[in-house]
A and B are shown apart, each in its own frame.
Chain A
């Protein structure tokens, strides 16, 4: 009976993973797709791990083997729960700082005028690691108009 309960929880987790994957495929821009991928990494993976733990207690091996397997499962779950949000945050922060823009990307000035801001990162005078000042993509192209003109003419000719 515990085996059936555990596999049903596991099935629920895999379905949540599939909903997240559909979101990853269909959402309109990068910062929205991050949401879909994060769901699968936290809720979906956690439900799968919990289902496997319940399933393990339903198996009729000796108890000490089951406990060993449960310890492995819990360590996988804790590791996924710690690292996936870190990786997602690093990815989104990297994209934001490199000035990934396009339809639906957050506008730097709008974010700076929010009442609480996004942990202060939207301040365009923020310094990157190494002391370099953050310059948005538009400002960069305004500062060096000659380079982009040369590139465009080179591509055309």
Chain B
């Protein structure tokens, strides 16, 4: 059973995490260079892990944590794979950062 006060606080933290993800998405869309976009997407993935965990607690089923673990693994692999691509391929030149 989840305490009603704790449930409200969990709800507020869910809203806060969603606002964080929105800010990261804004940076991913307007980022002047490729690296800004990768940075924002990486942060978005980390926040997804936290959000899935908190949502699991909010609905009273912490078994959602398995999904969060898979997301954490996938996020790291994605970032490293994109970085390998941008390291060894000559085409995506970084634009002039502002």
A residues adjacent to B (C-beta < 8 A): 3-4, 6-8, 10-11, 13-15, 17-18, 20-22, 24-25, 28-30, 33-34, 37, 40-41, 45, 48-49, 52, 55-56, 58-60, 69, 72-73, 75-76, 79-80, 83-84, 86-88, 90-91, 94-95, 97-105
Q: Which residues of B contact A (CB under 8 A)?
A: 1-3, 5-6, 9-10, 12-13, 16-17, 19-20, 23-24, 26-27, 32-33, 35-36, 38-40, 42-43, 46-47, 49-50, 53-54, 57, 62, 65-66, 68-69, 72-73, 75-76, 79-80, 83, 86-87, 93-94, 96-98
Q: Is the interface of B mostly helix, strand, loop or mixed?
A: helix
Complex Cα spacing A58 to B5, Å = 13
Q: Is the CB of B47 within 8 A of A17?
A: yes
For B33, list chain A residues within 8 Å (CB).
30, 95, 100
